[in-house]
Structure formats: structure tokens, C-alpha cells
Chains A and B, each alone.
Chain A
């Protein structure tokens, strides 16, 4: 229905523009652009970054952390090594809660600041950062997520992958178990691949 309404308003808009085109004799390129927009009629598809930001927030809903891991009543999503989301993460998590706990985004510069993080995203392009973060993460209960290509093999828990132009994710159950976390079956159901690799990257 929204589509219908938007289509109608667009049509009204295009006819208005058309009239103006006739009046001012605008270039036909502008007209073609509007026509193409009207034909597509869809809201623009979210970018991969936006999808990743949403997934990062949604993961929290399907993970159970050990009792008493976090003293503060705040759900902190940490981003290590520079924020690639261009504000999308803030947009997604703004005002949201997980199990009644408000969500907060924290940007940390080094792996030393991961205490208090529930979800940790490591930018995949920072190879050294990934390694040190994984080492640091072993000492705490944190869901490690990255888009680094060998993340699971390196001992990471969830790795973003691209399948047919769509953002999907893979899970390393072994790493999750070692981190003392529990993943919901619901999450595993929608994962592209669920593996169980030990810390040296060998399947168990």
C-alpha cells in the first residue's frame, strides 16, 4: 500500500515536473531519471554496511552470555580499529534494547579496551588488530565478529561473508563454546555455514 501511495505521489510529482519541463524546456535527461525512479518504485536497497550494522545488533538477541559477566546494565557493542559503518550502527542501535538492556556503541582503539564489550566488531582490513583482539577476547566473554576472510580459522566466532551479493554470516561453534557463550539454534539456522574449528584453525 505504501508502494501504491508512493507510486501515486510520484506520478503526481512526475506530471508536475513534466509540466514544468514543458514550461521551462528542461533537458530530457532529468525527465528520464524521474521516470526510472518511478518505474523502480522500491525504497533503495540497504547497503552492505547498513546490513552488517543491523546484523551486529541483531546477533545480540540470539546469544546468551555467562551469568554475571557484566555488572553494568548496558549492552555495549564495541567497534575496534576504526568505524567502517559511517554512522549506520548508531542509526540501528539508537534507542534500542536487547532483553530490556539499552544498547550502546563504543569505539575502541586497541584490544586493551574490550572489557565490558558484549559484541566486538573488528574491521577485517586490520590483520594485526584481529589477532591481538582475538587473544584479548579469550580472557572475556565477548562475541567476536569480523569481515576478515580468515576470521573463523583464526579463532573468531562470526564472520560476515558475501553470498550472491547478499551479506550472510558463518559461525565457528568451537570458538563460541570456548568463549563461554551460547548461540540460539535460531541463529545457527540462518547461518550460511556452521563450523567447529579449534584455535589452530583445524576442524574438530
Chain B
């Protein structure tokens, strides 16, 4: 509203107060002077009229207007008297006097009965009238007309003095307020500047210089400093806690990363090292069957076949584990990938491998995405094989691939009308080695969907599933928008 600073307000307040006080005082003095001046004038005129009156008694009694006129001419010494006169008892002019000849303009009003004296204030004149008595009888009247010019002169003089005093005292008030400003408003202004600076620079180490005064402003300054101290202290402890947390997180992360790496290296080496004995088992059992098959007999052959099947199976498991490990550790090479083409190629492979199955593929053309083609192919392969597998119990099946757009995201899906899954267990689908179906129902290693989730995770995407038992399953996944750096993990 009003943006004037405290110091300006203080100055204005000072000037207003002193100005108003002076004006009131001047007005009061002037009014008093007017009243006393008029009273004094009345008294003077009354005295003069009395003197003229008593000196004019004989002139009136002995009908001597010349004597009356010479009495009146004594008024010449009073410069403010414009005219005067002596009237007879029947109000005829007996003798008169005018300061300036021919200035006799006064009309004599009726004298109130039984009054000693009467005044008439005219515009610029005061007319005073007194009866002249002798032996208790009114024998005539005296009137004096005085000019009030002096009142105007006094008014002007008063005005000039008042203006001069006003100016001087306003100057003085200005000086005083400037002086007080330094001691009163100065600290407040400095405090305001300091708060502005603190909030602008966020530098809580700033301090107001302590005031030597013992007033509210000093208290304000001390409290401000104490507040800053408190803020700084909290800042410090907050920073400390933050730093400690950061450090701890860093340590944990480092621990985790190394543990993970060790685990992966371990599982890789275990898988790798396991392949040798399995290959040997497989090879030697083959040699056993070829060279000593006749000696084993049909029962022995069947046992060796079992051994070989188990070995193969173990080898497959190890391969899958190695793949999962590779998926986790291999570096990502980002390029444009046409998912629809990939899906078509995988669908062809599946149909060619089992031409007897009647599966209808419905593959929509989606926009190319950014990602690692090799890993994305593994992920799609796993998803489609999953659908292929869980629709195998149905005579005819339908597998869809497509994309929806929701809130600016592209959500891809793979949908089948197969065995589905228990909706309550949807969260376990993507855990490694977690299977919702018995391996007698559907064969599987329980690692495929876990691999898919890892791959999408490494791209910075995510996957989720929706389905119900015997009502098919739908897997949704999203990949980060184009141009965005995918997360490392």
C-alpha cells in the first residue's frame, strides 16, 4: 500500500506534529491577541470618549461649538481615530472632527436606553458612543470612530511571524528527525536490509552488529542474531545428518555391488564349471550306449536313456542360468528396434517347430523403440514361448501382440487365451524358479519371466501381468520414451 520507509514516515510524522502544534499555538495566540487588542482599543476609546465628554460639558451647556471642536481636535494625536463628534441631546451634530477632511461617513445608530456606552463594530471601524451628562441629565453625546486597520496590520505581522517560526521549526523538526533517525530508524533499516540479504543469499552466517542501546530495537537485533544462530546450527546438523546418510548409502551400495558381482561371478563360474562334468556325463553315457548297448539289455538301455535325459536337462538349466547371468552383466547397445518384426520372426520359429498346433498370431505393427536388440529379442522370445506353452492344452489358441497408449506412455502387451494364472499370485510370476503350475502340467525351468523382467529392468522399463485361471494371461510392458537414457540397471 504505502511503500514509504520508516524514516520517511518518522520525518513526516514529526513535521506534521510540530506543524500542527505551531499552527494551533499561532491561531490561539492570534485569537487571544485579537480579543485583547479589541478590548484594549475599546478601553482606550472609552477613556478618550470620557475625557472628550467631560471637557465638552461646558461647551454644550454654553452652546459653544468652537470650544467643543477644539476639545475634539485633541484627538489628532491618536492616529487610529478617523472621526469623532459631539451631538446635542436631540442627536444633532454639535461639533465634529475628521482626520481626513470630508471623511464623515458615520451614521449614528440609536443609543440603547440607560446604557453608559455603546460599541458598534463595522467592517473596518469601531464606533463608540457615550452620553454626556450634567447633574444627572443627558445633555449630549460623544462618539469616536476608530479604524481597525491596525488589526489587519497585526494579522499580517502575526502571519509573517507564524510563517517564519513555522519554517524555522519545520527545519528544526527535520533536523531532529534526521538525528533521531540515525539512532532509531537506522538500526531498523539496517535490520531490514540484513533480513533481505539473508533471505536472498541464504547466507545464515551473516550477523547484525550488536547494538549498544538498551531498547526494543536492540532486543530485535539480538533476537534476529539468535534466530540466525539457531538456523545455522540446524543447518549444520541437517547437513551433518545428510552427509552421514549419503556416506552410509554409498557404503551400502558399494557393498551391495561387490556382493552382487561376487554372486554373479560365482554363479557364472559354477554354471560354467558345471557344464564340463555334465558334458562328460552326456558324452560317456552316449559312448556307453553305443559301445555297450548290446550288453546292457533293454532295461539297461532305458536307464542310460534316463541318465542322458537328466544330463541334457541339467545342461539346459545351466544354459538358462548362464543366459540369465549374461543378461545381467552384458553391456547394453542401444539402437532402433522393430518389436513387431521380432515377434513375427519368433512366431514363425514356433509355428515351424510345432506345425501341428493351431495357433493364431495377431501381431500389430508398433512404432520402433530404442533398446538392445539382442536382449529385447530374448525377452520377447521368452514371453511368446510362455504363451505358446500355456496354450498348448487348448486345441486352438490365439496369441496377440500390440500396444496401447496411456498417459503419454506406450504400453506393449502379449496376450494369450491359455491356462492363465491365479490372479493372487501375479506378484510371484517374475521371481526366478517360482512356478505357478506343476512341472508335470507344463514343463519349464521358472527362469523365463525372471529373465524378461531383468532385461526390461536394465532398459529402465517395467513389466506386469494380468490374468485369471483358465482365462488366459496378458503381459504388459513399457520401455522408456525414445531419446531417454535407459537406466544402467
Contacts and interface: CB of A to CB of B under 8 A. Distances in A.
A180 B134 CA distance: 24
A96 interface: yes
B132 to A, nearest CB: 12
Interface stretch (A54-62, A108-116, A136-144): A54-62
Contacts of A184: 58
A187 interface: yes
B139 to A, nearest CB: 9
Interface residues of B, number: 15
Interface residues of A, number: 21
Contacts of A99: 135
A98 B58 contact: no
Nearest to A191: B62
Interface string A154-190: 0000000000001111000000000000001011011
A98 B135 contact: yes
A51 B64 CA distance: 12
Interface in B103-146: 110, 134-136
Interface in B189-207: none
A58 B90 contact: no
Contacts of B55: 186
A2 B64 CA distance: 23
Contacts of A198: none
A187 B59 CA distance: 8
Contacts of B61: 54-55, 58, 61, 190
A97 interface: yes
Interface string A29-66: 00000000000000000000001001100100110000
A162 to B, nearest CB: 13
B63 interface: yes
A96 B135 contact: yes
Nearest to B67: A190
B67 A189 contact: yes
B62 A55 contact: yes
B195 to A, nearest CB: 86
B135 A190 contact: no
A24 interface: no
B58 A189 contact: yes
A68 B67 CA distance: 33
B58 A186 contact: yes
B57 interface: yes
B135 A97 contact: yes
Given A1-B91, A2-B90, A184-B58, A190 B134 contact: no
A154 B110 CA distance: 49
A183 to B, nearest CB: 11
Q: Which residue, of B62, B91, B135, has the highest number of chain A Cβ atoms within 10 A?
A: B62
Contacts of B90: 2
Interface in B33-59: 55, 57-59
Contacts of B91: 1-2
Contact of B64 (A1, A62, A190): A190
Given A2-B90, A186-B55, A190-B58, A166 B63 contact: yes
B58 A62 contact: yes
A2 B90 CA distance: 8
A189 B64 CA distance: 9
Contacts of B62: 55, 58, 168-169, 187, 190
A62 B62 CA distance: 11
B63 A187 contact: no
Contacts of A2: 90-91
Interface of B: 55, 57-59, 61-64, 67, 90-91, 110, 134-136
Given A55-B62, A189-B64, A190-B59, 16 more contacts: A1-B110, A2-B90, A54-B61, A55-B61, A58-B62, A61-B134, A97-B136, A98-B135, A168-B64, A169-B62, A184-B58, A187-B58, A187-B62, A189-B67, A190-B58, A190-B61
14 contacts: A1-B91, A51-B63, A58-B61, A58-B62, A58-B134, A96-B135, A168-B64, A186-B58, A187-B58, A189-B59, A189-B67, A190-B62, A190-B64, A190-B67
A-B pairs, top 7 by smallest CB distance, nearest first, are: A186-B58, A190-B64, A58-B61, A190-B62, A190-B67, A190-B58, A189-B67
